[in-house]
Amino acid sequence: MDKGEINYMPYKDPEKARQYYDTDRKQNKERYKKYQIKYRETHPERISESKKKWLERNPEYNKEYYQANREKIIGKSKIWRKINHKKILEKVKLWQKDHPDEVLERIRKYSKTEKGKACKQRVETKRRVRMREIINTLTAKEWLDILEKYNYVCAYCGTEFGCENLPTKDHVIPISKGGNNVKENIVPACRSCNAKKHTKILIGGNSFG
């Protein structure tokens, strides 16, 4: 503790030191509060690590506290997320960019759950509605011609298609962004690349960057 901000405890005996600290803290609440705020601002990593270790040693406290203060914690969390919405999105995007394989694995696991299946059904329904509103002239022959043009490999990563790696139709300009289901807007893609591209419009090459 910095000298002058918080009084030093003049006792070597732990019990007397604790009593002195408790008394001094009650008499100087504002001073302690300012010191704690300053310390948290200048040592965020140390605070986080200390809290993590304490919770690991006392897992029952974390569970009991959450159950006793569930509504309060959820309320504070919602307010914090609302205030820091943009920061959270930026962090999520950076994490997804650095961990593409883990993102795909999480998507696969989620798609097998009941919520995931319901979500997929809603997406497919919206997609069918859009398909009725766009130019939809792609034929089976045109699709085979596109595959032949690309030598039966993924347009993005060059992986060869086969029984275990079936081709998917990828819209260069996504349907959600005004693209049409026509041969000029279709390229063959493996499932992995199609999922990574998602609704992006690639400019200046086939890189996901």
* Residues 88 and 18 occupy one common structural domain: yes
Long-range contacts of 122-130 (CB under 8 A, 24+ apart): 127/175, 130/175, 130/176
Examine residue 120 and state whether it is found in any structural domain, yes or no. yes
Count of structural domains within the chain: 3
Q: For the purposes of burial, counting CB atoms within 10 Å of the CB of 166, is it exposed (0-12), middle (13-18) or buried (19 or more)?
A: exposed
* Residues 122 and 143 occupy one common structural domain: no
The CA-CA-CA angle for residues 148, 152, 153, to 5°, reads: 135
Residue 37: per-residue pLDDT: 86
Q: What is d(CA 38, CA 97) in angstroms, rounded to the nearest whole number?
A: 34
Q: What is d(CA 190, CA 170) in angstroms, rounded to the nearest whole number?
A: 9
Mean pLDDT (the chain, rounded): 83
**b/e map of 88-99 (b: 16 or more CB within 10 Å)?**
eeeeeeeeeeee
Backbone angles phi, psi at 153, to 5 degrees: -130, 160
Q: What is d(CA 183, CA 172) in angstroms, rounded to the nearest whole number?
A: 10
Examine residue 36 and state whether it is found in any structural domain, yes or no. yes
Q: 46: part of which helix (H) or strand (E)? A: helix 44-57
Examine residue 1 and state whether it is found in any structural domain, yes or no. no
Residue 207: per-residue pLDDT: 57
User: Residue 88: what residue type?
Assistant: I
Give the residue ranges of the chain where pLDDT is below 50. Answer: 1-6
* Residues 147 and 88 occupy one common structural domain: no
What is the domain range of residue 122? 96-133
User: pTM here?
Assistant: 0.45
* Residues 114 and 42 occupy one common structural domain: no
| Number of neighbours of residue 193 by Cβ within 10 angstroms | 20
CATH of the domain at 160: 1.10.30.50
> Within 13 Å of residue 108, how many CA atoms lie on the same side as its CB?
9
Say if residues 176 and 130 touch (Cβ distance below 8 Å): yes
